[in-house]
């Protein structure tokens, strides 16, 4: 599949502006090999919602304003459960709604906001343009379910998580980086996976 195209020039996508991602820890200092991750997927096996939530929380602790995470998989695959973990990892203490008719949820984390988009009910890709996704990306972390409904509105550098149902409580999560910043995130997540094994 080819990368989603950027919006037409003139719209001025915020993620293309230098310095829009300047806040927060610079992971590349700790991870010099950061872009090696761009092609390969890192797979995690989840044996229940708690494990999916914990993986989301691990990611949530690393995320900073400007980051985008796209979650792809069937209904009931665990995308919203994962977002609950991300919110917890970002320091949000309340509940995360899984009502699919809410297109954009907003949660205040410790350092920045989490925007949770669910495009399941989107009827046409053009409707997503009204969501002004680039503005959310500039103002916090964006995590989106059903990104394939409007792939063109998301920044090219995003962490992609593919969910697969392998049993009643079994899920496989395949994490892929689509650019240098998401490559940094994936490198750190993969290291924590290896550290747990060892
Ligand atoms: N390993 C698992 N990870 C995530 N959810 C799981 C897992 N095993 C069972 N579930 C159940 O699957 C459902 C996932 O729902 P949800 O996260 O709303 O899915 P989605 O957002 O992908 O449509 C929940 O009822 C959850 O309890
Ligand atoms: Mg959902």
For residue 98, give the ligand 1 atom closest to its CA: 18
Q: For residue 134, what are the β-bridge partners?
A: none
Question: Ligand 1 test: best mutation among 71, 72, 81, most atoms within 8 Å of CB?
Answer: 81
Q: pTM of the prediction? A: 0.82
Match 């709604």 to its residue by tokens: 97
79, 169 Cβ separation under 8 angstroms: no
CA distances from 198 to 47, 120, 144 (A): 19, 39, 32
Q: Ligand 2 centroid vs 98 CA: distance in angstroms?
A: 5
Q: For residue 160, what are the β-bridge partners?
A: 70, 176
Where do the domains of the chain lie, and which CATH numbers do they carry? 42-150+157-164 (3.40.50.300)
What is the Cα 118 distance to its own chain's centre?
12
Question: Ligand 1 test: best mutation among 47, 48, 49, 99, most atoms within 8 Å of CB?
Answer: 49
pLDDT at residue 76 is higher than 50: yes
Q: Give the tens place of pLDDT for each residue, 108-137.
A: 999 999 999 999 988 888 888 888 888 888
Q: Give the tens place of pLDDT for each residue, 27-75.
A: 333 333 333 444 589 999 999 999 999 999 999 999 999 999 999 999 9
Residues with CB under 6 A from ligand 1: 46, 48-49, 51-52, 73, 75-81, 98, 145, 169, 171
Q: Give the tens place of pLDDT for each residue, 81-112.
A: 999 999 999 999 999 987 656 688 999 999 99
Structure tokens at 56: 């989301």
């Amino acid at each position: 599949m080819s990368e989603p195209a950027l919006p037409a020039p003139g719209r001025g996508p915020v993620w293309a502006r230098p310095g829009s991602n300047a806040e927060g820890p610079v992971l590349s200092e700790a991870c010099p090999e950061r872009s090696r991750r761009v092609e390969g997927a890192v797979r995690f096996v989840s044996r229940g919602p708690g494990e999916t939530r914990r993986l989301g929380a691990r990611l949530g602790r690393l995320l900073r304003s400007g980051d985008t995470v796209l979650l792809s998989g069937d209904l009931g695959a665990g995308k919203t459960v994962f977002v609950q973990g991300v919110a917890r990892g970002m320091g949000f203490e309340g509940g995360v709604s899984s009502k699919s008719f809410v297109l954009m949820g907003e949660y205040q984390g410790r350092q920045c906001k989490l925007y949770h988009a669910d495009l399941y009910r989107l009827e046409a890709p053009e409707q997503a343009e009204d969501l002004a996704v680039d503005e959310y990306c500039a103002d916090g972390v964006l995590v989106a379910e059903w990104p394939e409904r409007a792939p063109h509105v998301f920044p090219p550098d995003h962490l992609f998580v593919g969910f697969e149902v392998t049993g009643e409580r079994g899920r496989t999560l395949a994490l892929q980086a689509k650019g240098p910043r998401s490559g940094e995130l994936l490198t750190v997540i993969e290291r924590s996976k290896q550290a747990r094994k060892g």
